[in-house]
Amino acid sequence: MRVLAFVGASGTGKSYRAQWIARENKLECIIDDGLLINGNRILAGKSAKKESTKMASVKRAIFSDEKHVDEVKKAILKANPSGILILGTSDEMVNRIRERLELPELEKTIYIEDVASEKEIEKAKYLRHQLGKHVIPVPTIEIKNQFSGYFLNPLKIFSRKENTSETTAFEKTIVRPAFSYMGEYTIADTVINSLVYNIGRDIEGLKKILKVKNKNTDDGLIIDVEIIGIYGYKASEVMDKLSEKVLNEIDRITALNVKKLNIIMKSIYMEKELEKVDK
- Cα–Cα distance between 64 and 77 in angstroms, integer? 20
Residue 185 has pLDDT above 70, yes or no: no
CB-CB neighbours of 272 under 10 Å? 7
Residue 277's pLDDT band (cuts 50, 70, 90):
very low
Indicate the burial class of 212 (C-beta count within 10 angstroms; 0-12, 13-18, 19 or more). Answer: buried
Closest CA to 15 of 43, 37, 41: 37
Residue 161's pLDDT band (cuts 50, 70, 90):
low
pLDDT at 137: 64
Contact yes or no for 43/79 (Cβ under 8 A):
yes
Element (H, E) at 217: strand 206-217
pLDDT at 129: 64
From edge to edge, which strands make up the β-sheet containing 206-217?
206-217, 220-230, 258-269
As a whole number, the mean pLDDT across the chain is: 81
Closest CA to 12 of 92, 94, 126: 126
Residue 221 has pLDDT above 90, yes or no: no
**pLDDT tens readout for residues 17-40:** 888 899 899 999 999 989 999 987
pLDDT at 212: 93
- The lowest-confidence range among 182-191, 216-225, 238-247, 265-274 is 182-191
Residue 186 has pLDDT above 90, yes or no: no
The whole-number average pLDDT for the span 198-205 is: 91
Residue 235 has pLDDT above 90, yes or no: yes
Helices 235-254 & 189-200, crossing angle to 10 degrees? 140
More confident residue, 76 or 271: 76
The values of phi and psi at residue 131, to 5°, are -105, -10
More confident residue, 175 or 198: 198
Contact yes or no for 172/136 (Cβ under 8 A):
yes
**pLDDT tens readout for residues 244-258:** 999 888 877 776 778
Counting residues of the chain whose pLDDT is more than 90, the rounded percentage is 46
Residue 275 has pLDDT above 60, yes or no: no
**pLDDT tens readout for residues 98-138:** 999 999 999 999 999 999 899 988 888 877 666 566 666 66
Domains of the chain: 2-180 (no CATH), 189-278 (3.30.70.1350)
Q: What SS3 class is residue 59? A: helix
- Cα–Cα distance between 81 and 29 in angstroms, integer? 7
